[in-house]
Structures are given as C-alpha cells and as structure tokens.
Structure 1
Amino acid sequence: MTTLEEVCGPAEIYDVQFVPALFAQWGPVVAGEAGVQNGDRVLDVACGTGALTLAAAEIAGPSGSVVGLDANPEMLAVARRKPVQIEWLEGTAEALPLPNNSFDAVVSQFGLMFFEDKPKALAEMMRVLRPGGRLAVAVCDAVENSPGYGAFALLLDRLFGKGVGGAFRAPFYLGDAGRLHEICNEAGIADAEVVQRNGMVRFKSIDALVSTERACVWTLGGVLTNEQFEQLLKESETALKPFVIDGGTIEFDMPSLIIKARKS
C-alpha cells in the first residue's frame, strides 16, 4: 500500500491536508486577536506554509507589509510558491534576525509548542514589536477538549501503548492557561492575557484524517508499521464514527488558547 508520506513531503502534506482541514480557519482569528489592520507591518513567527501569513497580508493590504519566518526551509519553499507579496525569512523564534521595535503586530499559530526555549521566543517577539504593538500567539488547547482527537489519542493508547499515544499528544501539551502564564512571566510579559477560541477539524473522511496524522512528522510520522496503520484505520472507523456527518466527512471541535499582550 502506498502511503501519503511516500507521495508527498512533510511540507506538502501540511499544506495540502492540514491547512484546509484545520489551520486556515485560524489565520483571520489570530490576526484579529492581534488587532492587525490596514497598513500594519506584521511578523508571523513559525509561519509554516503561510496560512496565518496570508490572512495577515490580506488584512494589512498593499499599504502594509508582512514577513513570514520559519526555521524549516521545506515549509518556506512551499510558502514561496504562493502568489503574494510577502517576505519569507529562514530563522528561529529564539533569535529573530530582525531589528528592535520594527513591527506593529507579531503573530504565531501552533508553533510555540515546538520551540526549544519558549520564554526566549516570546521575549524575542516582544523585542521586535514597536511600543504599543500587539502580540497574539495560538497553541492547541488540551487534547481532552477536542472530542475527536481525544478519542483518537485514547485509541492509540489502547492499540499501541502510551508511547504512541503520547507522540500524538505532543502538539496539545501546552493546552493549559496556567502554564502559558508561567511561560509569559519567564519571558518578562507580566500583563499577558490567555483566551480560548473554538475552531473545527474537518477532513473529507476518517481515512483522510488517519492517513494525514500517520504522515505528520511532528506526531506519528515514522512511528507506525504498515500493519499497525491498517489496524488503526480499521479501529478508527468505530472510534471516530460519532464525529462523522453527511457524506462521510469527519468534523469535531478543536479549541485553541491564544496569548495576547501589548508592548508598553
């Protein structure tokens, strides 16, 4: 059986599968939480293939400017194919290659969980904000607050053990407002606010969801054998059936937590 990761690279899988199923909807939300407006200069940190960057560019308009930064050159290669006026930069969140006080808004979605030094990354984002500039950083809420993914995590635990289930849960482990406030305090952001916003996961089928998760290098990529994948597909038909709607589409809530702050 040909697997998704044998056909597409990780960046293409992310852009073609995860962005429409999950991440695209969050671009306008996170940009809105940062108060992005026409004419703003905006930085998107850990931009991936540009889901949030594109949303920010649409709001900022021709009189504004947007920079998308990511540490992954394959992600940036996909982003650069987009027919938009955006500056794409390779770099890490912990050492932004950008001057102080140079952006009206800094945004980031679903990247903080994977940064090596999270307080340093947030401090860097605040550094490049101009006085009065706004920050909005989104992370996945706890997996238990996403019913479909919660059921999928429990299925992985049951079939293959806590190690595999834990690998899948990696993107969700910062889904705790108290922990986010601790990280903000370590970063020197004393007045940060953490808000919950709801979103949806929507794949065309259970098969599409399972295949995409199996191919994700940040969670289950390389973890399952072909035999285990077949078993997971079969068992998922029962475990995820409550979330299937008309036509076989699978749909369920997946909230996020968003850190908001303003530079004094």
Structure 2
Amino acid sequence: MDGQYSGSSAEIYERHFVPALFRQWGNIMVDRLGVGLGDRVLDVACGTGVLACAAATRVGDDGCVVGLDINPEMLAVARRKNTVIDWQQGPAEALPYENGSFDRVASQFGFMFFEDQAGALREMLRVLRPGGQLAVAVCDALDHSPGYAVLAELLHRLFGSAVADAFRAPFSCGDRELLLSRSAQAGITAAGCRRVAVTRHDGLVEFPSIKALVSTERACVWTLGGLLDDRQFERLTSKAEESLRPFVEADGHVRFNMPVLILSATRYGEASG
C-alpha cells in the first residue's frame, strides 16, 4: 500500500478524510450551536477534533472545550493539534460529567457507530444545562450522495453484499424519521426540549483523484479496512476509474455532493437526574 495510507487509522483519517469530507462541518456545527465567548462545549465522539477545534476559536479565555472519544488513537492525534482543549477518553453512552455541565453539546459523524444511540442522546441531554443547545450530525442517506452510491453498487457487484454493507455503514442513520425516533426513545421531548428538528445541509466530497478516494476507503477501519487484498484493491481501482468518471473534473479531482442531517434541540426546564 502507498506509504501515505500507512500509519494508524486515526492518522489516515486526519490526513485524508478530514480534508476530503469532515473539515467543512466544524464551523457549520458551531454556528448551528451558537457557540460564543465563555461557553462550555462538549464534543462527543470527537475523533481527531474537527468540531472541538472549531469551537475552541469561539469560546475565548473564559470558555472551555472538552473533546471526548472512546478511541485512544483518535485522541492522540487530536492532542497534537490543540493542547488547550481538554481531551478525554470515554463512551458516549456514559459521559463522565455532572448534570448540566455544558452550554453546548455536539456530536459530528460518530452517532451512527454508537452501540446505544438513544442512550447516548439521553446522556448528552443530561449534561446539557437548561437553555443549552444540542446538535448531532450524521451522513444523509447513501442515495443522496451520488459518488458514494455508485461506489457502493460497484463494491456489491465486484465483491458481494458483505463488503458493500460495510461501506454503507456510515450512512445507516441518514433518515429523518429514524433520528426523531431515537430522540423519542431518549425522552428528549419529555425531558424538556423545544425546537427539536432534523435539517438537511449540503456538503462536498473532494479527493485529488479516484485512486485517492478508493485508497482512503480501503485504509479506513470503519468501512473497508482489512476487507480487500492487493489484487482486489487493484481490481476495484481499475473499475472505479470508469464508474466514477462522471465525478472527475478538469483538474482531476473527484467532487460530488454529500448531504448531512443535523438533529438539533434547545433544552429548557430543570436539569434531569
């Protein structure tokens, strides 16, 4: 494998996925949350810290940003990026914080991998103060992201449903009704939230080449990592050059839309026990 796709999964994520997909959403999410001076912000499943770092530029000296993730490799990369943010290891389903500890609580592209999604939402609500803002971002449905939809079909045709389904996993929560159902299971409305909504926002995927896109996915432990041998990878790359050609622009870069759903709510009333 190309040396630029070696290293830990977190390093590959930071080197390739962050600029291609995730960096754009940090500022969008902190805008959605209304992060301002003096705020205490919690980024749940922070990964390498895209959202947390964006929030840190807004809170000032009197504010505080905490990034929590269950993966120590992700946190190791995050700590190298920002030494002021409080990086902590822990699960989304059992947040190690007191009730009402934060003004803003967010999670960006981790929710679909939580073992207990309703439980994680319940915990995020618990640590949010009355009047605080909650926002959770997930990838929209796969069929709304044309380049990835084509790649999923190609994987299914070449290697079968198991490989294709592994690639589809990050898109598993791209459904408005599912997110609202998880919210109801978490008791968000009953626990004192208003303006509970799921909104769609368009984003852009951009890789420098088709090979870069396929190589990044092959190296990603959360999708195709470990599933394809060298021969299969070469076959996939060759076929992808044809299937993904409609998304290649004059500069050789691959670009296509990848919309995101954001579940948001405002807390009111007394902090839950």
Shared fold (TM-score greater than 0.5)?
yes
Residue 193 of structure 1 pairs with residue 197 of structure 2: yes
Paired residue secondary structure (2:38): coil
Shift of 1:2: 4.5
Other-structure match for 1:216: 220
Residue 209 of structure 2: aligned partner: 205
CA distance in 1, matches of 2:144, 2:82: 36
Q: Which deviates more, 129-138 or 57-66?
A: 57-66
Matching residue's letter, 2:41: V
Alignment of 1:37 with 2:36, yes or no, is yes
* Partner of residue 116, structure 1: 115
Counterpart contact for 1:4–1:215, Cα < 8 Å: no
Structure 2 Cα separation of the partners of residues 254 and 152 of structure 1: 13
Deviation of 1:4 after TM superposition, in Å, equals 5.4
Q: Which amino acid aligns with 1:206?
A: I
RMSD: 1.1
For 1:214 and 1:83, locate their aligned partners in 2 and report how far apart those are by CA, in whole Å: 28
Which residue of 2 is the match for residue 51 of structure 1?
A: 50
Residue in 1 aligned with 2:22?
A: 23
Deviation at 1:200, TM superposition (A): 0.4
Secondary structure in 2 aligned to 1:95? coil
Q: Which consecutive unaligned segments of at least 5 residues does structure 1 have?
A: none
Query: Residue 194 of structure 1 aligns to which amino acid in structure 2?
Result: V
Counterpart amino acid of residue 201 in structure 1: V
Aligned to 1:262: 266
Q: Which runs of 4+ in 1 moved over 6 A?
A: none
Contact kept? 2:176, 2:261, Cα under 8 Å = yes
Shift of 1:53: 0.6
How far apart in 2 are the matches of 1:32 and 1:246? 33
Instruction: Give the drift of 1:51.
Output: 0.6
Q: Distance in 2 between matches of 1:145 and 1:84?
A: 37
Q: Distance in 2 between matches of 1:31 and 1:246?
A: 33
Query: Is contact 1:101–1:129 with CA below 8 Å preserved after alignment?
Result: yes
Aligned residue in 1 for 2:229: 225
Map 1:151-190 to 2 at 5 A: 151-190=150-189
Asked whether the equivalents of residues 135 and 265 of structure 2 are also in contact (C-alpha less than 8 Å), the reply is: yes
1:250 and 1:39 mapped to 2: Cα distance?
A: 40
Percent sequence identity over aligned pairs: 58
Partner of 1:8: 7
TM-score (norm. length: structure 1): 0.97
Kindly indicate whether the alpha-carbon contact (under 8 Å) linking 2:139 and 2:260 is maintained by their aligned counterparts in 1: yes
Residue equivalent to 1:73: 72
Assess if the C-alpha contact under 8 Å between 2:99 and 2:128 holds in 1: yes
> Which structure 2 residues correspond to residues 214-253 of structure 1 after superposition, within 5 A?
214-253=218-257
TM-score, normalised relative to structure 2: 0.94
1:3 shift after superposition: 6.5
Q: CA deviation at 1:84?
A: 4.3
Where 1:248 maps in the other structure, the secondary structure is coil
Q: Distance in 2 between matches of 1:166 and 1:83?
A: 35
Rounded to whole Å, the distance in 1 between the matches of 2:43 and 2:2 is 35
Task: Report the alpha carbon displacement of residue 63 of structure 1 after superposing the two structures with TM.
Answer: 2.5
Partner residue, 2:144? 145
Structure 1 residue 83 displacement after superposition = 3.5
1:162 shift after superposition? 1.3
Q: How many residues align?
A: 263
Instruction: Give, in angstroms, the shift of residue 246 of structure 1.
Output: 2.3
Residues 4 and 211 in structure 1, CA contact (< 8 A), matched pair in contact too: no
Q: Secondary structure of the equivalent of 1:259?
A: strand
List gaps (5 residues or longer) in structure 2.
Answer: 269-273
- 1:3–1:211 Cα contact (<8 Å) kept: no
CA contact 2:53–2:82 (8 Å) conserved in 1: no
Q: Which amino acid aligns with 2:84?
A: Q
SS of match in other structure, 2:12: helix
